Amino acid sequence: MGDRWIDRLERRAGFIAIPGLAMFLAGMHTVVGLLSQFKEEFPGLLSLRPDLVLQGQVWRCLTFILIPPAWSPLMLLFWVLMLYTYLVRLETFWGDFRFTLYCLLGSAAASCASLLTGAALSAWPFHMSLFLSFARLDPDYEMLFFFVLPVKMRWVAGAFWFMTGWDMIFGSAPERVALAAGLANYLFFFGSSHWKDLKLAWRRSRYQGRF
């Protein structure tokens, strides 16, 4: 969807913007991760389970995105710092409304996919879509992985896209559904720009082929 559509939506539904959402998400990942150190079953209270959602536990359609993928203290620290870095930059670049809209679309797509398939879905595809958005907007940003290795986001995004393509081809049906749902918000925001890039690359290849 182009920027004009999002601008129109913001004029009509700007009230949904949540200021400071990036810091809240990073903070809640810290809280959930720490609580999980003492009560291993705690993430199960927040996870996206369609059977429990249908029983009235609708909060799971949002709280599942607060579950970190890392459990050990060191990995949790690394994850939260990385998450905070790119979420804050995304929120600064987009503004409160667009960032909130992106998160809501991602959680809604995953929830719909979970309800339609009856499968419990993790938040990893959702987090991957946030990371890919950051890499798309700032591909030359260098992040210190494991606090040592400087890597530009364009290369990390390339690795993510390769793994996504691999899972879409060789993964199970639930994995494919989860990945498709996780990328729905990304395509909503960046699909048109990727399509333009493909058309430009095609024209260049045709032009070069003539000479």
The pLDDT tens digits for 180-201 are 888 888 888 887 766 676 666 6
Band (49; pLDDT cuts 50, 70, 90): very high
What would the mean pLDDT of 151-159 be, rounded to a whole number? 81
Are residues 130 and 123 in contact, defined by beta-carbon separation less than 8 angstroms? no
What would the mean pLDDT of 111-126 be, rounded to a whole number? 87
pLDDT of residue 5: 77
What is the distance between the alpha carbons of residues 85 and 34, in angstroms, rounded to a whole number?
19
pLDDT of residue 109: 92
Cα atoms found within 13 Å of the Cα of residue 72, Cβ hemisphere only: 3
Note down the domain range covering 184: 3-209
pLDDT in tens, 78-87: 889 888 988 9
What would the mean pLDDT of 100-123 be, rounded to a whole number? 90
pLDDT of residue 79: 87
CATH number of 90's domain: 1.20.1540.10
Greatest mean pLDDT among 56-60, 157-161, 175-179 lies in 56-60
User: Which two structure tokens, joined as six digits, stand for 93?
Assistant: 């670049």
Instruction: Fill in the DSSP letter of residue 17.
Output: -
Are residues 159 and 103 in contact, defined by beta-carbon separation less than 8 angstroms? no
pLDDT of residue 1: 47
What would the mean pLDDT of 60-69 be, rounded to a whole number? 92
pTM of the predicted model as reported, rounded to 2 decimal places? 0.83
Of residues 28 and 71, the one with the higher pLDDT is 28
What is the distance between the alpha carbons of residues 56 and 43, in angstroms, rounded to a whole number?
18
Residue with tokens 């913001």: 10
Total domains, the chain: 1
